Amino acid sequence: MTDDRYSKLSRYVLDNGLPVIIDERAVSDTVYCGIYVRVGSRYETKRNNGISHFLEHLLFREKGATPTVKQIEATGGFVNGMTGFEHTNYHFDTLASEFEKAWDGLYSLVCEPSYGEHEVELERKIILQEVAGAKSNPLAIAYYAAMKEFLPNSSLGMPVPGTRKSLKRIKIDEIRKFYETYYAPNNMFVVIVGGVDTESAFEAVRRSFTSRNAGPVPPREFTRPPAPKKRHELRLKTLVDQGYLALGVLTDGEKSKHKYEMKLIDVVLGSGRNSRIYKELKVNRGITDFIMSLADMAPVEARSLSDIGLWGIAVGTPTKDLDEAEQIILDEVNRIKTEPVPAEELGTAAKKLLGRFAIDCETNSGRAGFYAATELAGEFLSTEDYRKKVEAVTRQTVAEAAQEHFEDKNIMLLDVKPARGFQKILAVLRFLIFKRI
């Protein structure tokens, strides 16, 4: 379904271990380019929580001015960074004719840091504002409260930008050491998508990285939270006006043998107007259309990491309808576990998933996001490979995936209701003292 007629996809690996993925799209007069580093908040402890994100901010800084950012922006591009659980990304999107100038800027930004104490203190202030701003969204707050409860002592329960406490503790030397440890070419990769010539773009990347040697990157050792013994529920009463409900299960993430089955279960159950839960909650009962995949309220990267993932659905309803909504969701989860999905419904779900994918792939950034996700998963795919994987899913494998994941003991349920009376007084005090809803 994706249109690859004007796409020329290549993947190279430099001697120092840096993979370079280039999709030359002659129909495009802009170009997206990202440098990805395999490090994020899962590499942190409670003490240095937020250091990956702090570093990302600092790389945009140089003592005095910001010539690298200026260099990219002078090409007409925008430049930005993003930190997740397992990777950090630096990217630009600019006019294709300006690729080399922008690339030189991005390389310099990521690989030639020169921030000092002053920049660290300024960025600390800015990140504290970022953390405060995020606390105005009750869903994000509820998400982290739930993760802390459901995944105690796991870095997955820690916020990516850090906490006020951890951020105030992080020192420049720790940040520099963190950089030295993880920012090695064999722990990074580059994705370029757009109206560039493959050979010239590759040559620009090769030239920049020639002098950088592979580093002794520590092996990734993530601890998976212990398997649950029974259904885990968290019921919060806090400063919200409406009720919210989220149901989630942990998956094996990118390692899962049922990765594509879970994507289709997402479509069948809760994604889009044709999904079972949407039809029941909105069309038939008229309760709400505030229905979204859990990944919409959680950081997107939480959906599928290298060895663990989170599948789920979240709804907002009037408080009085919350129990009914919970029952509807549990009934639908139970149904998909016990009744095979009809062939026609599964076929429609696959078309829906691939249709959305085709639209995403019409933009350079959408394509780059796809290539990066597959590279991070250690399974580099073309768009055609992806289509084949989705189409290979059968009713039988969906049934197996549902039975495996939706066992009652795997279910995590979060329900958030407005606090009343004394609970409300406590919630207000919590807000005034800890700035926490």
Partner 1 sequence: MRSGKRRVAMAEEAPLKSEPTVWRDNLSNGFDIVIVPRAHTGTVAIDLYARLGCSMETGENTGLTNLLARMLLRGTSKRTSEDIAREIAATGGSIGSSAHYLSSSVMAYAPAESFELVLDIAADVAFNPLLDAADLEKERRVVLHDLAAREDFPDYVFHRKIGARLFPDHPFGRPSDGTTESVSRLTIEDLRKMHERHFVPNNMLLVIAGNVSLESARDLIGRKMGGLRSKEAPAAVHPPMPALDGTLHDTLSKRVAQARLYLAVRQAGIDLRGEYVLSVLNAILSHGMNSRLFTQVREDRGYVYDVHVDDTVYPDILVWGVGAGTDKKHLDEVERLVRCELDKLTRELVSEHELDVAQKYMEASVRRSAQLNDGTAGYVGATIIRGRPLLEIEERVGLVRSVTRDDLRQLAGEMFGSGDFHVFTMK
Binders in 272-311 for partner 1, by CB under 8 A: 272-274, 279, 282-290
| Contact status, residue 36 vs residue 189, Cβ threshold 8 Å | yes
First to last CA, the chain: 45
Q: Kindly tell me which residue out of 116, 218, 318, 342 binds partner 1, with binding defined by CB under 8 A.
A: 318
Contact present, 377 and 306 (Cβ < 8 Å): yes
Number of residues that bind partner 1 (CB under 8 A): 99
Q: Which stretch binds partner 1 (CB under 8 A): 175-183, 225-233, 301-309, 314-322?
A: 314-322
- Is the CB of 109 or the CB of 333 nearer to partner 1? 109
Determine, following the binding rule CB under 8 A, whether residue 123 of this chain makes contact with partner 1.
Answer: yes
Beta carbons of 75 and 98 less than 8 angstroms apart: yes
Q: Cβ 86 to partner 1, closest distance in Å?
A: 23
- CB within 8 Å of 151: residues ≥ 6 apart: 157, 225
In this chain, which of 144, 202, 260, 406 binds partner 1, going by CB under 8 A?
A: 202
Please identify, using beta-carbon distances, which residue of 222 and 380 lies nearer to partner 1: 380
| Cα distances (Å, whole numbers) of residue 260 to 176, 295, 337 | 39, 16, 16
Closer residue to partner 1 in complex, CB, 26/399: 26
Compare residues 178 and 244 and give the one whose CB is closer to partner 1. 244
How far apart are CB 349 and partner 1 at their closest, in Å?
8
Residues 145-184 that bind partner 1 (CB under 8 A): none
Q: For the purposes of burial, counting CB atoms within 10 Å of the CB of 132, is it exposed (0-12), middle (13-18) or buried (19 or more)?
A: exposed
Q: Which two tokens stand for residue 228?
A: 């649950």
Residues 350-379 that bind partner 1 (CB under 8 A): 351-356, 358-359, 362-364
Q: Which residue from 263, 383, 368 is spatially nearest to 2, judged by alpha carbons?
A: 383
- Residue from 132, 392, 425, 426 binding partner 1 (CB under 8 A): 132
Site for partner 1 in 6-35 (CB under 8 A): 6-16, 24-30
Q: Is 124 in the site for partner 1 (CB under 8 A)?
A: yes
Q: Which residues lie across from 114 on neighbouring strands?
A: 62
- Angle (CA) 295 297 299, round 5°: 60
- The CA distance from 357 to 366, in Å, is 9
How is residue 137 written in tokens? 């969204």
Binding of partner 1 at residue 332 (CB under 8 A)? no
Q: For the CB of residue 116, give the shortest distance to partner 1 in the complex, in Å.
A: 14
DSSP for 293-354? Answer: EHHHHS-GGGGB-SS-EEEEEEEEE-GGGHHHHHHHHHHHHHHHHHSPPPHHHHHHHHHHHH
Binding flag, residue 423, partner 1 (CB under 8 A): no
Exactly one of 101, 169, 206, 232 binds partner 1 (CB under 8 A); that residue is 206
- Cα 387 to Cα 401: distance, rounded to the nearest angstrom: 19
Residue 282's region, left for phi above 0, alpha for psi from -120 to 50, else beta, is alpha
> Phi/psi at 402 (nearest 5 deg)?
-65, -45
Name the residue nearer to partner 1 (CB basis): 240 or 250. Answer: 240
Could you say which residues in the range 77-96 bind partner 1, by CB under 8 A?
Answer: 77-79, 93-95
Q: CA 22, CA 29: separation in Å to the nearest integer? A: 15
Per-residue x/- mask for partner 1, residues 41 to 60, rule CB under 8 A?
-------------------x
Contact between 137 and partner 1 by CB under 8 A: the answer reads yes
Q: How far is the CB of 409 from partner 1 (least distance, A)?
A: 31
Based on the shown chain and the rule CB under 8 A, indicate whether residue 210 belongs to the binding site for partner 1: yes
